[in-house]
Chain A
Amino acid sequence: MQLSIINGSPRGASGNTEKLLSHFINGFMETEGNSVELIHSIGDRPLFEKSKELFLRSKNLLIAFPLYVDAMPGSVKELFEALQECSYKNPDLSLMFMIQCGFPETHHTRFVARYCEKLSSKLGAKFNGTICKGGCEGLSVQPQALVEKVFKGFYQLGKSYGQSGKLDKTLLDKLAYPEQLSHENIKQVIPMVNSFLWDYLLKKNNALDKSFDKPYKL
């Protein structure tokens, strides 16, 4: 099976979307004969010629992006607009999406996931599912065991997809955990993220004392 991937992350090859994709790809490549072609749409702006060409000649395409203000980044919306001229020109295409967000709960990604399914029909492609995953900000500062679990989830999903051509519902649900958090869990998670991620980065930049600055205040 051949799989094409467009990574729409504005951070390109250095972002978390790429890290997660690499584990999905490792799993996918476990099946003999499988091959992957990955491009970064951020390097393909403003005309997105490579992305359009890939859309038109692929049988299986995965479009991956991080959640920006509860939806696709503006630069990914640019890509969707560029793909409009390819609508209904590749009816054999199976289209999938991968959405990751920094919030610990996967729930935040579900709203734009609904859009992605609708977009597939507007593009005249067959919708083959969306991989949703929360808790993906600061993968480099999260406890190693947690990160390994996320990577393993992507690997297993990629492996299963590489064999069947379908995203396994059980694996998708397992990967998406936690979909939402209890009040008790939120109380534990918030101070951890605020100190281990944000305070760490603010201190590194000597900006902790300025963190609540209001530069646009009248």
Chain B
Amino acid sequence: MKVLFLNGNNQNSSLDNFISFLSKILENRKCSVSELKLRDMKFSPCRGCFNCWVKTPGVCVFKDDGDLICREFIHADLVILVSPIIMGYPSAIAKNALDRVIPLIHPYLEDVAGEVHHMKRYDSYPELALLLEKMEDTDDEDIEIIRDIFQRSALNLQSKLKFLKLTTSSPEEVANAIINN
């Protein structure tokens, strides 16, 4: 299984160490693991120009690290968005990265279980998962809101949300959630 960590940690902290431990466990269990440390990458936020849909289909017009995010994303089996919960939501850099993967879907709309969603561009898409670090102000309602929104995001990205785990779980528990269904 090819696992991609989209590391949306906005600063040097123990969250990075969690990813390192988890990666080692996964590699020992025959997963291929890669990590994009978003805070060290250069990419513009999506400007909603839709040129990636109507001018250069499938590619953003910004020539920056957003290209690498798209490439790694579509070739993974599981994309794990890792982030601290800031003001009740994953970090802005994590959201900016997610906004930049829309070239991977098609602008055309289709009926998905009675709702309008975007059509596929590629044959298959990775599953999504969330690994989040709580802050002092994080409560259970925040987690539920995040889970609900990311289930929607996954639906729109032709994917599904495999799990939402908190860093209060051990790396072994998270590894089990990744490998077992």
> Would B87 and A119 count as touching, CB distance under 8 A?
yes
> Would A213 and B57 count as touching, CB distance under 8 A?
yes
> Would B109 and A11 count as touching, CB distance under 8 A?
no
B22-63 near A? 1/0 per residue, CB < 8 Å? 000000000000000000000001111110011111110000
Cβ-defined partner of B114 (8 Å) among A80, A115, A186: A186
> Would B96 and A69 count as touching, CB distance under 8 A?
no
Main secondary structure of the interface of B (DSSP, over half): mixed
> Would A207 and B57 count as touching, CB distance under 8 A?
yes
B residues 100-157 near A (Cβ < 8 Å) are 101-104, 106-111, 114-117, 121-122, 137, 141-142, 145, 148-150, 152-153, 156-157
A residues 197-216 near B (Cβ < 8 Å) are 198, 201-202, 204-205, 207, 210-216
Cβ-defined partner of B153 (8 Å) among A69, A103, A193, A218: A69
Chain A residues with CB below 8 A from B87, complex form: 80-81, 83-84, 119, 122
Chain B residues with CB below 8 A from A216, complex form: 58, 70-71, 74-75, 104, 122
Asked if B163 lies at the interface with its beta carbon under 8 angstroms from chain A, I say no
What distance in Å separates the Cβ of A121 from its nearest Cβ neighbour in chain B?
9
- Write the chain B residue with the least CB distance to A107: B115
CA distance A74 to B145 in the complex (A): 17
Asked if A78 lies at the interface with its beta carbon under 8 angstroms from chain B, I say yes
Asked if B98 lies at the interface with its beta carbon under 8 angstroms from chain A, I say yes
The 6 nearest A-B residue pairs measured at CB: A74-B96, A74-B95, A201-B54, A77-B92, A78-B92, A70-B152
Given A9-B48, A77-B92, A118-B142; 14 other pairs, CB 8 A cutoff: A11-B47, A74-B45, A105-B115, A118-B141, A119-B88, A186-B115, A187-B111, A190-B116, A198-B107, A207-B57, A210-B57, A212-B121, A213-B58, A216-B74
Which residues of chain A have a CB within 8 Å of any CB of chain B?
9-11, 15, 66, 68-75, 77-78, 80-81, 83-84, 103-105, 107-108, 111-112, 114-115, 118-119, 122, 180-181, 183, 186-187, 189-190, 193-194, 198, 201-202, 204-205, 207, 210-218
30 cross-chain CB contacts under 8 A: A10-B45, A11-B47, A69-B98, A69-B153, A69-B156, A70-B153, A71-B95, A73-B95, A73-B99, A74-B92, A74-B95, A77-B91, A78-B45, A80-B89, A84-B87, A103-B109, A103-B115, A115-B149, A118-B142, A118-B145, A181-B114, A181-B115, A183-B111, A187-B111, A190-B109, A194-B108, A207-B57, A211-B53, A215-B58, A215-B59
